[in-house]
């Protein structure tokens, strides 16, 4: 199972300061995303995940300069989420150095936009879904009849989506969702809801494709080499 370090970008910097040596008082803290990512890659990361927080709020990319700075320093794939709502947004992200993109759940309610984005990104596209029943039930759908979660997953697979990112997935009914994904030939990544090595091992044993870890890595609550070992 892949362990994917994540950084939330705001104003070109990481929202969470990384200080690998905080527990021992060594090293220096930094909010420079390119420096943070370089360390993770040096420790074995094979892909990184960048969230454009400002872009998500604005509805269009806002931290592509930071994406470019990261891309210039590493040679592993970069997955970008936040503010990607049209095919042109994805083209801009790819031009900045992204190699994979994650779209918000709202794209599932817009077949034309989803088709446009798939035409640009193909298998490098993922859709983020919140599987928590209470949150899913509160989503404001444009369609007359709201879909079930399982029905929406099947619908996305039928339209050509091959990868899903489950936000707060560590809190979901994962065994059932894994079975559903396998039946539809979908890759599942889990973001959020994982707080310790036992949680990583649980995802590994279920057959999850990857876990996206942000603050727990940046804060040192989980050490990246230990996370890799737990996922192996």
Q: What is the CATH number of the domain that holds 203?
A: 3.20.20.70
The average pLDDT across 5-27 equals 82
| Among 26, 35, 43, CA closest to 224 | 43
What is the reported pLDDT for 192? Answer: 86
Confidence of residue 19 (pLDDT cuts 50, 70, 90): confident
What is the reported pLDDT for 45? Answer: 97
What is the reported pLDDT for 28? Answer: 75
Confidence of residue 18 (pLDDT cuts 50, 70, 90): confident
Cα separation of the two ends of the chain: 6
Number of independent structural domains in the chain: 1
Domain residues for the domain of 223 are: 2-231
Q: What pTM was estimated for this model as a whole?
A: 0.94
Strand ranges inside 116-155, DSSP E: 125-129
Please tell me whether residue 177 adopts helix, strand or coil conformation. Answer: helix
Rounded distance, CA 29 to CA 19, Å?
4
Supply 111's token pair.
Answer: 């077949």
- 125 bridge partner residues: 101
Angle separating helix axes 197-206 and 224-231, nearest 10 degrees: 30
């Amino acid at each position: 199972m892949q362990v994917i370090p994540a950084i939330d970008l705001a104003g070109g910097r990481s929202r969470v300061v990384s200080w690998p040596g905080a527990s021992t008082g060594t090293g220096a803290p930094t909010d420079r995303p390119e420096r943070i990512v370089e360390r993770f890659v040096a420790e074995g990361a094979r892909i990184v995940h960048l969230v454009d927080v400002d872009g998500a709020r604005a509805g269009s990319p806002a931290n592509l300069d930071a994406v470019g700075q990261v891309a210039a320093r590493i040679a592993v794939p970069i997955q970008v989420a936040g503010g990607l709502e049209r095919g042109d947004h994805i083209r801009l992200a790819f031009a900045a150095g992204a190699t994979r993109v994650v779209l918000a759940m709202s794209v599932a309610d817009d077949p034309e936009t989803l088709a446009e984005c798939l035409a640009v990104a193909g298998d490098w596209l993922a859709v983020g879904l919140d599987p928590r029943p209470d949150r899913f039930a509160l989503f404001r759908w444009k369609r007359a009849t709201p879909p079930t979660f399982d029905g929406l997953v099947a619908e996305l697979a039928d339209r050509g989506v091959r990868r899903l990112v489950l936000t707060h997935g560590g809190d979901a009914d994962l065994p059932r969702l894994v079975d559903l994904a396998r039946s539809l030939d979908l890759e599942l990544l889990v973001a959020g809801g994982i707080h310790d090595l036992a949680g990583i091992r649980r995802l590994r044993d279920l057959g999850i494709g990857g876990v996206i870890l942000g603050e727990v890595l940046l804060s040192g609550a989980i050490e990246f080499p230990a996370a890799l070992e737990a996922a192996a």
